[in-house]
Structure formats: structure tokens, C-alpha cells
Amino acid sequence: MAREFKMADIGLMSFYLGLEVRQSDDGIFVGQQAYVKKVLDKFNMSNSKPVATPMEAGAKLSKDKEGEKVDPTLFKSLVGCLRQLSRYLPVKLNMSRLRHALVTQSG
């Protein structure tokens, strides 16, 4: 590619399309730790304890007519953040596979 295009070495990639990228001898790790922290801060959940299942599995939900109203905009924002997080699951790429893929694509 360097023969075809003018290129500059800007070092190791640390972010790509909003995802954090860590490169080491063990592989390339893609994550969203900074985004998760931002979401937890936004919804005042930074000090919450992690749990495997946030509620009883199979629980039947019903409308609480006497309960306090929920801001629909805040709720929609939370759902959007959760959808964004679930879109990109953590990925570990093997360096030899990545090199092979890059060589194969470049011809």
C-alpha cells in the first residue's frame, strides 16, 4: 500500500469507530470501557454493584398505577445506550490471523 499511497506512521491505533483498541503480543483487544463508564455516570450508576441477572428471571411485570412517573426521554436514552453496548461485544483477534487477513486482502 505504501507504494500506491502516501502514508505516515502515526503509531498504534487506540480508537476506531468509537471503540477502544488495545494491541499487544497476545492479540488485539477491542472494548468499550470508556463508553460504559460514561453511561454509568450519566444514569448515576457508577457505584452500583454488578450482578449476573439484574432481576428475577421470568418475573411477570405489570403496570403500577400508583408508582412514580418515569421520564420517557431518559428511559429512551438508557435503552439507546444499552443497544449501543450490545452492538459491539468484546472481541479478541489472534495476531497471526489478523496478519493473514491483511496480507490476503492486499493481494
Task: Give the relative orientation of helices 33-42 and 72-87 as an angle to the nearest 10 degrees.
Answer: 170
16-20: long-range pairs with CB below 8 Å, 24+: 19/88
| The pTM of the whole model exceeds 0.85 | no
Q: 104 pLDDT exceeds 60?
A: no
> What pLDDT sits at residue 88?
67
Mean pLDDT of 87-107: 53
pLDDT tier at 102, thresholds 50, 70, 90: low
pLDDT tier at 106, thresholds 50, 70, 90: very low
pLDDT digits (tens, 9 = 90+) for 31-82: 788 888 888 899 888 888 877 777 788 888 888 888 888 888 988 998 898 8
Q: Return the closest-CA partner of residue 24 out of 90, 94, 101, 103.
A: 94
